[in-house]
Amino acid sequence: MADIKTNNPVPNFYRASAEDFRKIPGSPIAYWVSDKFSSIFENKKVSDFLTSEGQIITGNNEKFLRFFWEVAQNLIGKNGEWKLHHKGGLYRKWYGNVEWVVDWSEISREFYKKDNTARIPKEEFWDLLGITWSTISSSKISFRKVHVNESYNKASPTLSSSNEGLIDFLLAYLNTNIISHTLYIINPTLNYLVKDVEILPVNSKLLLQKAVLEDSKSCLLISKTDWNSYETSWDFATLPLISPDYLSPTIETSYKKLRSNWQEMTDEMKELEEENNRIFIEAYGLEDELTPEVPLSEITLTCNPHYRYNSNKSEEELESLLLTDTVKELISYAVGCMVGRYGLDKPGLILANQGETVGDYLSQVPNPTFPPDDDNIIPILDDEYFTDDIVSRFKEFLKVVFGKETLSQNLDFIAKALTGKTTSSPEKVIRDYFLKDFYKDHVQRYKKRPIYWIFSSGKQQGFNALIYMHRYNKTTLAKMRTDYLLELQAKLDAELSILLGDPAKNKIRITRIKNQLEEMKSYDELLNNKALAMIEIDLDDGVVVNYAKFEGLVRKI
């Protein structure tokens, strides 16, 4: 095929050998492929090293699949009722997209075996290592490692082996630009099936080469560190911004240190991937066909704004987005500490099982530097009407983490990061964020399966209170009504009486309070009825089923 262009007397007319096409599996009509490139298909294939055993088909994903944060954490993992599950996901190389769990109880496993709409891999494949990818992609293909005790379905086909060195080597090879180029020849549809990956050529002379294995392990470590830096990772331990490596008295300085580290991670990953490309390009003699460079937008780390956001934005826009999201992640983590899901004194999840209490928290952290809310009800209101008001608690969190002396400076920094401008009232900006935008961000972060629920009286924002789903119990609503809603109504009535002393001066505030009280009156009726019903939830049912039990009381997703 190398003579295509020299033997074309007619413009845009090419000659190619049918025999050369047969070298490429499936014999696609890829007339532009050179002799040198087509010759790589004379090597062994991926299927000579890795095995496919199909995937789990549940027959009913709504019943058998959950995001891991929906269920009790003590039921996930080895010998648990739920197993970490790969289900495709966004373009991401090396590691990540592990957000789902599949029902792995004995009853469900028997169902998968026997039901004609379901299937389960043979037991000897349950605990093998593997390499997975997303079947359907809107961009280039990306390969990720599957660890022991992780499963996968048809949206995330997987090739397996018990040999970790082999897995790491082939993962490095499959993530080269040689493979993305080859797959385009074999299947240009961006719908990559097992058979497409199995027939990819592998130069066995390179097998388990030390330089490739070292590159692969380094890329895996960086990618895993990045993935685990965010709440929606099963192995999330603590927020990097407040870890000892970056923590300073001000958020601004802490962020600058962290941002510098993120840039180093991105640069190192780019260098490693390009070196990985170079090794394989040279081994196949394709220097004239391909270059090793990897665009920044294809360095698939969440901390890399060129990948995380639309890369056609300016550097200034990208940095602004990254800063804003990092501050929002700080706020989200602070709320997690308020409800006891996380804690400043212990890494990882603390309260993450059905109906856990402050007592369960104290059994793990006897003397917390920032104790969780005692009743799992945190008011989000126009003003600080309660001692556990969310803005008040957030300020306390900042004092504990960064120090009292820099509170004002840190509030200013947060407010500017949220709005993009300096303000004379940072606390108001932060309160407005909690009232208007926090829940939207939380719902988006947790893929429309929120674990923090906001009970809200409606558009007038008269009453809002946040609870943590895992700590909910059948008495929560009654306590919310008596200790918060009715108490707030009394406080607003008292404030209204004072304001009516000068109705002309206080007209706007009087109107707002009257509207809020009217809204809260209707809300109270529904809240009282639901409280009397003593509603119970089961985490195994997932957010969709449990959230629906409180329709009319909680904000719509």
Q: Are 333 and 239 in contact (CB under 8 A)?
A: yes
pLDDT of 11: 55
Provide the residue type at 519 as one letter. Answer: E
pLDDT of 6: 43
Which strand (E) or helix (H) includes residue 144? strand 143-146
CA 166, CA 51: separation in Å to the nearest integer? Answer: 12
Going along the chain from its start, the domains and CATH numbers come out as 5-42 (no CATH), 61-230+279-294 (3.90.220), 317-548 (no CATH)
Which strand (E) or helix (H) includes residue 435? none
Q: Which residues, other chains included, contact 201 with Cβ-Cβ below 8 Å and sequence gap of 6+?
A: 40, 41, 42, 43, 44, 45, 182
Q: Are 485 and 520 in contact (CB under 8 A)?
A: yes
Per-residue three-class SS string for 246-257: CCCCCHHHHHHH
CA 486, CA 294: separation in Å to the nearest integer? Answer: 60
Q: What are φ and ψ of residue 203, in 5° steps? A: -75, 105
Q: Residue 467: beta bridge partners?
A: 453
Q: What are φ and ψ of residue 35, in 5° steps? A: -60, -45
Q: Are 365 and 350 in contact (CB under 8 A)?
A: yes
Structure tokens at 401: 């983490």
CA 141, CA 24: separation in Å to the nearest integer? Answer: 19
Q: Which residues, other chains included, contact 508 with Cβ-Cβ below 8 Å and sequence gap of 6+?
A: none
Task: From first to last of the 557 residues of the chain, give the pLDDT tens digit.
Answer: 444 344 455 455 445 444 444 454 544 444 446 777 778 888 899 999 999 988 899 999 999 999 999 999 999 998 899 999 999 999 999 999 999 999 999 999 999 999 999 999 999 999 999 999 998 776 789 999 999 999 999 999 999 999 999 999 999 999 999 999 888 888 887 788 899 999 999 988 888 999 999 999 999 999 999 999 999 999 999 999 999 999 999 999 999 999 999 999 999 999 999 999 999 999 999 999 999 999 999 999 999 999 999 778 999 999 999 999 999 999 999 999 999 999 999 999 999 999 999 999 999 999 999 999 999 999 999 999 999 999 999 999 999 999 999 999 999 999 999 999 999 999 999 999 999 999 999 999 999 999 999 999 999 999 999 999 999 999 999 999 999 999 999 999 999 999 999 999 999 999 999 999 999 999 999 999 999 999 999 999 999 999 999 999 999 99
3-state secondary structure of 76: strand
By C-alpha distance, which of 299, 279, 302, 281 is closest to 290? 281
Sheet containing 65-67: give its strands across: 65-67, 100-103, 82-86, 150-152
Intra-chain end-to-end CA distance of the chain, in Å: 57
Q: Are 257 and 248 in contact (CB under 8 A)?
A: yes
Q: Are 253 and 175 in contact (CB under 8 A)?
A: no
Q: Are 380 and 434 in contact (CB under 8 A)?
A: yes
Q: Are 344 and 368 in contact (CB under 8 A)?
A: yes
By C-alpha distance, which of 97, 167, 174 is closest to 130? 167
By C-alpha distance, which of 138, 63, 71 is closest to 108? 63
Burial zone of 296 (CB within 10 Å; 0-12 exposed, 13-18 middle, 19+ buried): middle
Which strand (E) or helix (H) includes residue 122? none
Tell me, yes or no, if the pTM score tops 0.75.
yes
Q: Are 213 and 168 in contact (CB under 8 A)?
A: yes
Structure tokens at 163: 């040999």
Structure tokens at 28: 């696609």
